[in-house]
Chain A
Amino acid sequence: QNTISVQGRVTDASTGQPLIGAGVVVQGTSTGTQTDANGNYTISAPADGTLAVSYLGYRNAQVPVDNRSTINIQLETDTETLQEVVVTGYGVQEKRDVTGSIASVKSEELVRQASQNPVSSLQGKVAGVNITNTGQPGASPQIRIRGTGSALGSADPLYVVDGTFVNDLSFLNPADIESIEILKDASSAAIYGVRAANGVVLVTTKRGKSGEATVNYNGFVGVQRVTNQLEMTNASEYATAVNEKNGSELLSTNLPSTDWYDQILRTAMIHNHQVTASGGSEKVTYSASAGYLNQEGIIKGNEYERITARLQTDIQISENIKVGYNGIFYNYNSDDIPGDIFYQAYVAPPVIPVFKANGRYGDPVDFPIGNFANPQASLDWFYQKSNGQRLTSNAFGEVKFLNGFTFRSSLGLNYGIDEYTNYRSRDSLTTVQFATRSLLTQRRSKSNMWLWENTLTYDKSFGNHEITALLGTSAQEDKSNYFTGSVNDVEFNSEANLYLDLGDPETYNIDAGGARGTFVSYFGRVNYSFLDRYLLTATLRYDASSNYPRGDRWEYFPSIGLGWRVIEEGFMQNQTIFDNLKLRASWGRLGNNNIPANLYRSTVSTDPRLGAIRNGVLYPGWNINTVPPATLFWEVVEEVDLGVEMGFLNNRLTVEADWYNRKTDDAIFGVTPLGFLGLGGQIRGNYATFRNRGLEFIANWSDEISTDVSYNIGFNFSRNRNEVTGVAIENAAFFNGNLPVGGYQVSITRVGDPIGSFYGYEVEGIFQNEQEVEGSAQPNASPGDFRYRDLDGNQVIDERDKTIIGNPNPGFIYGINTGFRFKGFDLQLDIQGVADVDIYNGNRNVRYGNENYDKDFFDNRWTGPGTSNSYPSADLTGRNLDPNDFYVEKGDYIRIRNLQLGYNLPTSLVKSLKMQNLRVYINAQNPVTWFDYNGFSPEVGGAPVSQGIDRNVYPLSATYNFGVNATF
């Protein structure tokens, strides 16, 4: 047979850009090569053979040699989702080869959201991922992947930005992100073993491509307004209720009224700008960007400013050696607000004026109703500025050698500083808001982290076999510390005076602390595919963490994933229903290292509260405040995932469904010790087992009716069931969710119920008259009080009558995402919601005395026999404040998440402006939310064991933006 030498160039069919590293093989043999930095290749092939050319993200091409010695090949971009490339952690994979459950959100989706935090952009986009947003500028939303699987450890996922581990994503501008991948099942996440128990969020930032430099501007300006503002009573209604409650005419019912929410809230501005330049030669590519965000909070005086800068460079030193660098710098400044301002505004009686006639702040002392902060005085008095800087960086070198081997070493460094200055002036605003000496408090915290990882990858095809193997090591150290100092009597003439050494040295006070953690890991993964239809992914990670004691700290985390691309089978060739059919199954174990520090060590409390005072001098008091468990093991997640992926109607309709069963074994769990042990808090060890089981369903329809008209509709839905399946100590229940009045605990974590379930009495009705009280199980009740169900029938209402009254773990989350394009116009509408979830209305329940009432309560309250059998009288005291199901409300909501209308200016016009592309848009983010809950916002969040208790939530606001996206 005649073998000839063939050479040529592989390029992108639409742009003509060379494709570097494309694979060229002689079909049916193991002879192959890759294109060089110019896209050129040379290969020996039979004159009558066929070249198979492949490149990630492009359609494969088969080209007969036909005795030619020069063959230039153009590859078409693969637009079908099946050929989508997903980032899998230490590598990338075509989506069709993935055996686990990985969701991918691309930059176009993120940018369309016009939101400030990348995580909040994911809300409603990804099945199985529940995001609880917050309206607080600069704050990170809470994210839960496939339910809550940890009680005391963090239930947050691992975030990996370009290979570097970070704690949250608030430092990232969404416009810098190329894609976000969410590794949901154990088999996908297993490569991150120790840290992956709650899922992994992989963020890949934009990288430069060789070719002409492009400059992109992306910016928007908008206003934010609160929606669903909670209506409280006015002064006359409040006075009516308080007089009823106290049985006397404490207050006149015609006092002027203050709406404290109106008083502290405002319409707030937001603007955001980002410039990105990218491009490069064949050897060097770069992407650089700078961003600026300025966001006012909807609370007066709250403001957040963020500057982000990023530089990314890849250098092809030689054919086989590549190095690169990626650095993200972030700086923020914030004018803060009192942490409890929403609570203050909720409780503040409307009879208190903002200001009195004499110009002084309205004062609770003028009314016989108890002590309340004047929220306006709180805002005016509060001075706190915070700022911080963070550098997240990563440098790598990569060497290709032999045939198919790549060695890569990367070093990640994160360094961050956060600080705040708080000044409480010497002032007397009201009888409850005053200070006789000024107090300056400054805090500085610092964190640094290094991560060194080495991987060796082998990538090879042999006939019908395709194999990618990975071996790697990882070592990491995290370190952080803080220092808080305070001093009295610093004079505040300007911010330049705010130094601790300018105060009274007698009053210096210092608090300092820190944390350090180290990790060592070895890992390996094999991806194998046979005949392009039988897929296998096997992963093993061997991990150790300093959070666990010697002897118990090393653990293996294996996983396996299997895929069957049924569509490739011969028997599928003649059917016309499916364009894609793939089945997958996976199993894996993951560890949770994110547990409270020093669990296995007994530590000493040096709390100044326990210092002895003698003759006016404070002497420190120390004591051992913990009893460590005898052993401490890994909190281990084990998960099974079964999935199916289908394509119909020319892949215009794609459907993906997953079932999973996720079990957390040896979860770190706190058992409240008996009071007589004298240990506060909890005894913590590997005491519990949790299970999250659920279904995820995704359907997407996209169609191009003509070149002018196209549209897509996506629907995702997930169901999750959480349950505590075991507790090591018999009958142990873990109470949490402390409410401050009377120390009531609303949340319980116990076997058979979901984590952090609400626990309390069932309200049977309202006592209508004295006769009903007499002979009831509550002989001390008054008419208008709750009548609790006497579950054990012993004629006494006590702890034994408490039961599960609600579940804060969402049962259903869903999103509907649609897009329409007509010529230059595009319209996007995203809807998102949560259902089958409960909220505990802590604002209503937490009452010391004469707190304000919400309007719904006032309108429906019991005022005499027959007026209500569900709402109690205004006398919310005593046993009416025991946790009960009146305070548990449905937290279901549905929201228009994003409505955006964009217009791409015509190419001719754009070209004449020397631009490549120009798009303008208007956008409404969260304009409407529907819910029944009697609070500001149904998005409450909270720690796993005390979630869903609404006290003082900073609600999400509606944002209306105008934006421009221009490429030069």
Chain B
Amino acid sequence: CSEDFLDVEPEGEPVGEEFFQTPEHALLAVNSIYGNLREWNVSAFAHLAITTIASDNAEKGSVPGDAGFMEEYDNFTLTATEGQLNGYWNGQYQAINLANQVLSNVPLISMDEALKERLLAEAKFFRAYHYFNLVRTFGGVPLRLSVPQPGQQEDPATLNLPRASREEVYAQIVQDLTEASQVLPATYPAAERGRATKGAALGMLAKVQLYQENWQEVVNLANQVEGLGYTLAEDYYSIFRIAGEHNAESIFEIEAQTIPGNCSASNSQWAEVQGVRGQFGWGFVEPTEDLVNAFEEGDERLDATILFRGETTPEGDVITEAAPNPRYNQKAYVPSFVTNECGYAKDQNIRILRFAEVLLMRAEAANELGDTQQALDDLNRVRVRAGLEPIESASQEELRQIIWHERRVELALENGDRFFDLVRQGRAAEVLQAHGKQFTPGKNELFPIPQQQIILSNGILTQNPGY
């Protein structure tokens, strides 16, 4: 009897062995993967620094000296010990672990098979999404596809994987997205809005193929996405407002919302860190003059993308003349009438993929394949919506440059592909050095593997060249 007296269950905390038993558990576990997308490590400083501040689209922003480590991304003086970088690594792998938990455990749950297959497909979509972030940032990374089993940590060395090659990582991403796209539904009922769809998997796969220059795959996938019924929204500005969430061209968004009374779940800081300093948010990510000048005369997107000091927004907010920076990211702007009881802009969804980008991917791929007409058609759908004249004709090389440029202005400051695009296009050194950055070719195309991880791996993880 004394043994029974000594068996004490954890109080107020479910135990692991009792989890992953019921269909509800499967749903709860998948929810975590979505929740993780809002986390600081995944969506805030490091994400913005890597994708946008490092590029020619934005500077660090805020006031001098504030979060000085962000300057290291801006100037390419970054070293492997910078802490946000380690957070970014951990955040992506946390997501991969959450996906692996679902993929390892949910198959054993007895439940509706169709729902089970869909949940597994959602997990695969996100595992691929996060590996895609990792491979673009760090190159080949350890490819972990299952959860650690109890007791395994007795010898963490057995879990100490070396880096897989870039190709192996891409192969896994392609496999996961392909499998996900075969199962995920094209749409969900309104209450399920925000889940990964077939379009999201196909569109993401198109982008993955674009990075690997598998042009025909890109065209095929873009065609499939278009076949699902996506169209461009009429008004570019409204895409980025709260009312414009999940519009006709939206393919995937990270859901964020002020949950009344639950500020710890209202935790997306993507927009907060970019809001006008002193008026709304922290004021990071200052759009560059170079980006302003990139917009053609009459491009409606300039005003929708950049919030100028002193301007009055369509919603009637006057951006203070006292703001420390001349420009802010308008795609992260949330009007002042929206609640800020959990902090500024907790309601702003992060737009990850929309149909305009799919069109530009197809344009780029078609041009590479020599299908100029398809390229021009897709390009011009995007240009005309922005109030610009269509491009009538161009050489393949001219068109390549035009499409790259169009990608820049259409997607500027959004989900931040600019730095990765420049690397992918093989002109990062050229463009960024011209922009005055200390970009070292052969080194700065990748970010350093966080030193903390190299130490923990006992040197099994190797550093990227130049760091």
Contacts and interface: CB of A to CB of B under 8 A. Distances in A.
Contact of A436 (B10, B190, B341): B341
Given A615-B194, A677-B144, A798-B80, A604 B16 contact: yes
A436 B339 CA distance: 8
A611 B33 CA distance: 8
Interface residues of B, number: 109
Interface string A233-276: 00000000010011110100000000000000000000000000
B153 interface: yes
Given A618-B262, A618-B265, A621-B34, A437 B19 contact: no
B255 interface: yes
B154 A520 contact: no
Contact of A614 (B33, B159, B193, B267): B193
A616 B257 contact: yes
A602 interface: yes
Interface stretch (B66-74, B302-310, B311-319): B66-74
Nearest to B151: A630
A780 interface: yes
B81 interface: yes
Given A609-B35, A674-B159, A850-B66, A365 B278 contact: yes
Interface stretch (A72-80, A107-115, A367-375, A397-405): A367-375
Contacts of A250: 64
B207 interface: no
A623 B126 CA distance: 15
B195 to A, nearest CB: 7
B178 to A, nearest CB: 23
Contacts of A879: 79
Contacts of A211: none
Interface stretch (B291-299, B404-412, B452-460): B452-460
Contacts of B277: 371
A677 B456 CA distance: 12
Interface in B86-104: 86-87, 89-90, 93-98, 100-101
A624 B35 contact: no
A546 B10 CA distance: 10
B98 A678 contact: yes
A877 B69 CA distance: 7
Contacts of A519: 6
Nearest to A597: B10
A113 B33 CA distance: 57
B140 interface: no
Contacts of B19: 604, 622, 624
A431 B10 CA distance: 43
Contacts of A475: 5
Interface string A607-642: 111111111111111111011111000000000000
A730 B450 CA distance: 21
A545 interface: yes
B94 A518 contact: no
A533 to B, nearest CB: 42
A514 interface: yes
Most chain B beta-carbon neighbours within 10 Å: one of A623, A685, A879: A623
Given A623-B32, A742-B84, A744-B83, A487 B62 contact: no
A729 B156 contact: yes
A502 interface: no
Given A601-B15, A608-B262, A685-B153, A613 B5 contact: no
B74 to A, nearest CB: 12
Contacts of A598: 10, 13
B77 interface: yes
A624 B160 contact: no
Contacts of B450: 675
A906 interface: no
Nearest to B20: A624
A685 B155 CA distance: 11
Contacts of A5: none
Given A609-B267, A628-B150, A678-B98, A603 B32 contact: no
Interface stretch (A135-143, A505-513, A562-570): A505-513
A675 B71 contact: no
Given A604-B16, A624-B16, A674-B156, A614 B95 contact: no
B386 to A, nearest CB: 30
Most chain A beta-carbon neighbours within 10 Å: one of B96, B148, B153, B161: B153
Contacts of A518: 5-6, 8
A66 B76 CA distance: 103
Most chain A beta-carbon neighbours within 10 Å: one of B17, B83, B141, B458: B83
Given A368-B63, A621-B32, 4 more contacts: A437-B339, A481-B12, A609-B264, A678-B98
18 contacts: A242-B65, A246-B65, A369-B65, A371-B277, A504-B261, A550-B3, A602-B16, A604-B15, A611-B35, A613-B255, A613-B256, A630-B151, A678-B97, A679-B94, A680-B90, A685-B154, A849-B68, A850-B65
Interface of B: 2-3, 5-17, 19, 25, 27-36, 38-39, 62-69, 71-72, 77, 79-84, 86-87, 89-90, 93-98, 100-101, 141-142, 144, 147-157, 159-161, 190-195, 255-257, 259-262, 264-265, 267, 277-279, 282, 322, 324, 339-341, 450-458
